[in-house]
Each structure stands twice: as structure tokens, then as C-alpha cells.
Structure 1
Amino acid sequence: MNFKNLHQQVSPLLICNVWDVTSAKIAEQLNFKAIGTSSAAIAAMLGYRDGEEMDFSELEYIVKRIKNNTSIPLSVDLESGYGDNPSEIMSNIKRLISLGVVGINLEDSIIGKKRTLLPAGQFSKIISEIKNQCTKENINIFLNVRTDSFLLNQASPLSETKKRSKCYENAGADGIFIPGITQENDIKNVVQDTHLPINVMCMPDLPDFEVLTSLGVKRISMGNFLFDYIYNGVEMTINTILKQKSFTPIF
């Protein structure tokens, strides 16, 4: 089953978000149908803050190592595209496709002094130009468009998300990713307002997978929360070793 069709099943596609070869190989061994990179986790692993502080070539290297060591579909979190215009973003997408990547995430917010939403119309034009270029060059990649109205606590996040989802659907998006949405009624509302598959992300109060399935969600992501959980555990374990003056806690 190709990557796009994985978004059309009764049960949502559960994406294991990975940051290196080891995490990707574990996901494959556990029979995940697909994996996706976490930009925040990769940034933290390399000593950067999230928000395109690293060079695209550094992301590209990590993606190449993951793809060379796994065989399941890989989607890449491209953040805002690592480019100042659709042409530069498209160039980056082509480089990822050459590695075997089948999907990307593009987000409608940018990080300066703080993360801010781009105007919906401006971002829609970027999506449209990218999709048109893909069509012209017969490039097949799943464009999962992330909208950050909930993540950034906008005044009316539901109405803003619905407006943006419709704009991005019309511009050619293949899926809509809404990090930060957790309330069942909100999720149901956005699912019913678009023909595109809706992607939600791990949050403390996100409903369980069975409820998300009943609401019509088609994709579930882990974000950087798995990475954070693991390294919080590493810190706790090392701290225990120091207190006990023994390696017993790791055996």
C-alpha cells in the first residue's frame, strides 16, 4: 500500500516520529507502517533550538542515514521549508525525494523572536506553487500541511483552523496536520469540514486511539514527546547512578 493510501484506512495511520537510525530501526522492528522525522528532536540531538537553526544539509544527512537503514515509508518534517521562496523549498523537496522520502510536513508558522502564523493567503500560494511544480515534473510526494492555530493559542483556533484547512485544501494539500488540537468536538468539527485526512499529534489530553478513530482522524503523530520522554529517563537513571555510586540501576 502506498503512503497516500495509508491515510485512507478505517484505523488512523500511527506515525512513529524518529530522530536517528536507532529510533527508526526500532519503529520498523515494531511493525510501524511508516515513520516521520521530528524536527524538534533532531534539532535537540544536534544542539540546536527548534526552528530551522540547523542547515538543511544537516537535516538531509540525518534523513539519508535513516533511509539507508530502513525500508518503511519515511516522511520528513521540513518545518517552513528551509527556503525563502517556493523555488528554494521545491529544491529541498527534490533532494529529499532523491533519498527515497515519500512525504513532507510544511507548517504555516515561522520562528523569529517568537513563532507567528503566516497569512493564510500567503502560505496557500506557497503550497499551490509547490504542487504545480510537482505536477509539471511528475513528482509524487504527500504534502502534509501543518496549521498552528491551536498550537499558538489563537483567539478562535477552531474557526481559524477551518478557514486555513479549506484554503490549503484548495491550494493542493494532501493532508492537514493540526498539532495542539485535543477536544473531541473540535476534532470532529475539523474532520467534517474537509475532504482531506486530518493528522493530530500527541498531547497530554489527546483522546486515545479508539476515540480518535471514531472521530474520523486518519493520522496520529508523536511529535518530539517520545524523544523528550526517553531523555528525561536517561537523566533520571544517571542521577540514580550518581546517588547510589553504582551501575546497578542500569542492569
Structure 2
Amino acid sequence: MNERCAAFRALHHADRPLLLPNVWDHAGAAAFAARGYPAVGTTSLGVAASVGLPDGAAATRAETLRLARVLRRLPLLVTVDVEAGCADDPAAVAELAVELAAHGVVGINLEDGRADGTLDPAELTAAKVAAVKAAAPGVFVNARTDTWWLGLPDPLPETLRRARAYEAAGADGIFVPGTPDADTVAALVAGIDAPLNVLHRPGGPSLDDLHALGVARVSTGSLLFRAALGAAVDTLDAIRSGTTPPTRSPSYDEVQRLSDASRQ
């Protein structure tokens, strides 16, 4: 395992949960690096929406690889949301992981949710996890199960069943977005041996609360992309109405410096 992969793995065993900003372009990642965040993830919704493609439909393989190539210049660790691997064939998913690793990517998110609102068989996702770990053993595989996200009735038993199958296949972490409350998170931490990743929920448990519960990683998902889109629309509406824009925008020079710094 190379030093970058080892450093990313260690972030899941620190004094506080790893707060992972999810990005869709170079500028955002550079801004977070400048603020001292050691790692970023990509957001599949942000990557897809920024080029006019649907999320979760295996349509952004090329865009995902292109973003990975751009982000490698930055002084941070990068993990990539590959949806369900952009393929049903585990060998093809492993090939994508190897390509990403060649661009310096240290981790991937691999999910079992389908675009039609159903779940892949756990055995298929486990086979993808195993194929990736065999082909790119240093890559941190964060296996995501969408049992809560897709509204399964009584999702806890199925979540634990899937998590254990993915762990047995070699997953390094388990991501369960959509967990509704602290009691649920506590049950997942108790039932899963791998580091647990949850999605930040506005109004939900704080980072300190999640740390106390034993959570290892907290992702922002598509929130930052949606917040940026909302801020852009609000700023434009403020200009049209003659009022002061609600948020401060970075200056031209500030953004230019972020791009220049990554080329040094």
C-alpha cells in the first residue's frame, strides 16, 4: 500500500470523524485544500448535473476519470464516487478502479442502489468489491448500501446483512446514507466491524455527536453542489431585484490563485 492510500485509511481512525467535502470540479477542491481539508470525495450528482447527464445511470465514466486527472494536481487525497461501478461486470468495475488509482485516487464509493429505485443483489455488489480489492488492493473501498435511501421497510436487518457481505468481500468501509437518527447510527456502529460512513443531515447529529456514536466518516454528498447552485440563483435574483446578494463571493483573483497554486 502506498503512503497516500495509508494516509487516507488513517483518517478513518482519527480523533474525530473524517469530514469529507464532496466536489464536482477543480475550483471547489482547491478551495477546500486551501482551508486545510486533507481529503475530498466527488459527488456523482454534481459531476453528472454539471455536464447535463443523469446521476446513477452509469453515464459519467469518462467525466469521472477526467475529474480524477484534474484533481491529482492538488495537495489532498481524493476518493471517487463511481456509483455502482459504471458496469454490472465486476471485472469492468475493477478496471475502472485501476484506472482511477493510476491517477492518484486513493478510494472509491461503490453503491448497491439502482437508478430505478431497486437494489442490486448483495452478491453482485460483493463480487464487485472483491474484484476491486484483488486488482487494486490499496484502494479504500467504501461500500454503500442504499437500504434507507431507497425506503426499504424495516431496513436495519437488510443493511447489516449487506454490510457484512461487503466486509467479507474486502470492503474497507461501509456507507449508509439516509440514517434517520442517533439510535439507528448507534445500532449500525455496533453491528458493523468496518469504519462507518454516514451522510451529513442538516438538523441531524453534529460531528461531535457522531464521533461519540463511533462514526468514522461524514460525507456531504451532493449538499455542497446544491448549495452552490442555490447561492448562484439567489445572487442572480438579488441583482434583478436590486438587493444585496446574500452571500460573499470569492474574488476573481482569489479563484485565479487557487488554480495557479495547483500548478506550482
Q: Retained in 1: the 8 A contact 2:47–2:60?
A: no
Aligned pair count? Answer: 242
Q: Is the counterpart of residue 93 in structure 1 residue 102 in structure 2?
A: no
Q: Retained in 1: the 8 A contact 2:147–2:155?
A: yes
Worse-superposed segment, 20-29 or 158-167: 158-167
C-alpha separation between the residues in 2 aligned to 1:17 and 1:217? 18
Q: Is the counterpart of residue 58 in structure 1 residue 58 in structure 2?
A: no
* One of 10, 23, 28 as aligned partner of 2:28: 23
Change (3 A) 1:2 1:216: same
Tell me the secondary structure at the aligned position of residue 41 of structure 2: strand
Change (3 A) 1:64 1:240: same
**Once the 2 structures are TM-superposed, how far is the Cα of residue 53 of structure 1 from its aligned partner?**
5.1
1:188 corresponds in structure 2 to 186
1:40 corresponds in structure 2 to 45
C-alpha separation between the residues in 1 aligned to 2:198 and 2:122? 20
Q: RMSD between aligned alpha carbons?
A: 1.7
Identical columns (%)? 34
Q: Is the counterpart of residue 170 in structure 1 residue 168 in structure 2?
A: yes
Runs of 5+ unmatched residues, structure 1: none
Query: Residue deviations 1:108-164, cap 9 Å, x none?
Result: 1121xx221112123222222332333xxxx41100000000101100111111111
Q: How does 1:98-247 map to 2 (within 5 A)?
A: 98-111=102-115, 114-134=116-136, 139-244=137-242
Tell me the secondary structure at the aligned position of residue 115 of structure 1: coil
Counterpart residue type for residue 86 of structure 2: Y
C-alpha separation between the residues in 2 aligned to 1:74 and 1:126? 20
Runs of 5+ unmatched residues, structure 2: 1-5, 250-264
Tell me the secondary structure at the aligned position of residue 42 of structure 1: helix
Counterpart residue type for residue 192 of structure 2: T
C-alpha separation between the residues in 1 aligned to 2:232 and 2:131? 44
Q: TM-score w.r.t. structure 2 length?
A: 0.87
Query: Residue deviations 1:210-230, cap 9 Å, x none?
Result: 100000000000000111012
Q: Retained in 2: the 8 A contact 1:13–1:33?
A: no
Counterpart residue type for residue 133 of structure 1: A
Q: Retained in 2: the 8 A contact 1:182–1:207?
A: no
C-alpha separation between the residues in 1 aligned to 2:221 and 2:157? 24
Tell me the secondary structure at the aligned position of residue 76 of structure 2: coil
Change (3 A) 1:129 1:65: closer
